[in-house]
């Protein structure tokens, strides 16, 4: 929900970070940039999570003023309703300040329970006041609670920074990732090709409802998250212990609390999930292209496949496609490609958990990053509270 504090690239893998000149703020920026915000001493929800997300939450709150708008009202009435909704929200916030013994115009210095309750409940009152829509009010409350939960995880555990680092790893090691994919998925590729050219598969996805596709995709995505997430805490402890053993002198910096270890596990899981996503997207694009070239309207007619509710015909220079046939992209082709890509992602997520070569390569990359973090944390802890020998 927020961007990393420092947009500068992280140190290249294998290059030790120069930390002797860093001050406290620079160390904290390094922690956040590496997806480990919980290493910041005094980390708190109201200041470092919801406080940092306050601009985003304010934008959401302003967007939810549209809850006062009713589709059956004329434009002038909806404009007045929006102004009234803004006035109600502003007056309610001023009243909250007065009740808490602060000047009515005080802006929040941190976002705690009162501010979060205001964010959840006030937009939900607007559909009730302007139209008596209790169902919309309940949906607004639930949606805001879910949103706060997402903000808690994404910002609190530095997921965006982890994605930034993981994307850099995927880009730097794309060739190695492709070789790893070829090594891990030979049988799956053969199976996927056979499955892709199976008429029954096409008929199933040609006749399934869109909601069923979403439920199936969500189910397999949840399985991928579970496979990766269950292994990540053990990987975090292993990587931390190995890094501390290889870099003596940073014992104090390597003592992570349970929350900090969970933060490290989240960073590792995010990096792995990003790799699974890249593999799945690659397979999906491959099968979309393959199906467009080879599964022509004539083939779909033989398979008794309609193609779904929409289709697009590709016009190529010179006319026609492969063998003079038209190239057609259909909804069914998209569904089949996404389904096989999802199966591939699930298989990849399971395979990398048991592949010794991959585990060694991935853990080595994490340890390289952790070595820089531990050096910075040693400097950081010395700045905050120097060890007795240095006093």
Share of the chain above pLDDT 90, in %: 5
Domain membership of residue 8 (yes or no) is: no
Helix then strand then coil, in percent of the chain rounded to 5, is 70, 0, 25
Q: The domain containing residue 267 runs over which residues?
A: 159-390
pLDDT of 187: 67
Residues 101 and 217 in one domain: no
Evaluate whether residue 3 is within a structural domain: no
pLDDT digits (tens, 9 = 90+) for 262-312: 888 888 888 788 878 888 888 899 899 998 888 888 888 899 888 878 888
User: How many other C-beta atoms are found inside a 10 Å radius of the C-beta of residue 58?
Assistant: 12
Provide the pLDDT for residue 281. Answer: 87
Show which of 156, 189, 222 is a domain's final residue. 156
Same domain, yes or no, for 152 and 198? no
Alpha-carbon span 248 to 244, nearest angstrom: 6
Please tell me the total count of domains within the chain.
2
Mean pLDDT of 105-133: 84
Q: How confident is residue 3, by pLDDT bands cut at 50, 70 and 90?
A: very low
Q: Is residue 6 part of a domain?
A: no
Tell me the pLDDT tens digit for each residue of 349-381.
777 777 666 666 666 677 777 888 888 888 888
C-alpha torsion 355→361→363→365, nearest 10: -150
> Tell me, what's the pLDDT at 170?
57
Instruction: Identify whether residues 79 and 171 lie together within a single domain.
Output: no
Q: How many CA atoms lie within 13 A of 140 on its CB side?
A: 25
Instruction: For residue 8, name the pLDDT band (cuts at 50, 70, 90).
Output: very low
Handedness of CA 129, 130, 135, 140 (dihedral sign): negative
Of residues 360 and 1, the one with the higher pLDDT is 360
| Together in a domain, 175 and 145 | no
pLDDT of residue 169: 59
Q: Domain end: 139, 156, 173, which one?
A: 156
Asked if residue 5 belongs to a domain, the reply is no
- The model's pTM is 0.68
Residue 112 CB-density burial (10 A; 0-12 exposed, 13-18 middle, 19+ buried)? middle
């Amino acid at each position: 929900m927020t961007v990393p504090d420092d947009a500068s690239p992280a140190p290249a893998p294998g290059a030790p970070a120069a930390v002797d000149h860093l001050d406290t703020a620079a160390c904290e920026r390094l922690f956040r940039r590496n997806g480990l915000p919980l290493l910041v001493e005094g980390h708190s929800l109201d200041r470092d999570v919801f406080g940092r997300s306050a601009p985003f939450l304010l934008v959401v709150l302003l967007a939810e003023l549209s809850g006062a708008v009713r589709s059956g009202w004329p434009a002038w009435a909806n404009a007045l309703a929006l102004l009234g909704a803004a006035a109600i929200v502003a007056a309610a916030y001023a009243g909250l300040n007065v009740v808490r013994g602060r000047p009515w115009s005080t802006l929040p210095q941190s976002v705690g329970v009162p501010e979060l309750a205001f964010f959840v409940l006030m937009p939900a009152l607007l559909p009730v006041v302007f139209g008596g829509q209790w169902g919309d009010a309940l949906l607004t409350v639930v949606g805001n609670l879910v949103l706060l939960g997402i903000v808690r995880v994404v910002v609190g555990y530095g997921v965006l920074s982890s994605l930034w680092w993981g994307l850099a790893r995927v880009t730097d090691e794309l060739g190695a990732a492709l070789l790893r994919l070829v090594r891990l998925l030979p049988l799956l590729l053969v199976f996927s090709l056979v499955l892709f050219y199976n008429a029954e598969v096409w008929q199933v996805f040609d006749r399934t409802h869109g909601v069923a596709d979403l439920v199936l995709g969500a189910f397999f995505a949840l399985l991928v998250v579970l496979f990766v997430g269950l292994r990540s805490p053990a990987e975090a402890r292993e990587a931390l212990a190995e890094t501390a053993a290889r870099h003596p002198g940073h014992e104090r910096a390597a003592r992570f609390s349970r929350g900090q270890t969970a933060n490290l596990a989240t960073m590792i899981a995010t990096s792995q999930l990003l790799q699974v996503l890249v593999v799945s997207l690659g397979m999906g694009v491959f099968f979309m292209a393959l199906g467009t070239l080879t599964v022509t309207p004539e083939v779909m007619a033989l398979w008794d496949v309609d193609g779904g509710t929409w289709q697009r015909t590709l016009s190529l220079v010179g006319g026609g496609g492969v063998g003079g046939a038209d190239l057609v992209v259909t909804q069914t082709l998209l569904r089949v490609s996404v389904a096989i890509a999802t199966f591939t992602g699930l298989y990849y997520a399971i395979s990398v958990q048991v592949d010794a070569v991959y585990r060694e390569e991935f853990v080595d990359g994490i340890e390289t990053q952790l070595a820089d973090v531990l050096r910075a944390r040693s400097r950081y802890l010395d700045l905050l509270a120097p060890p007795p020998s240095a006093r």
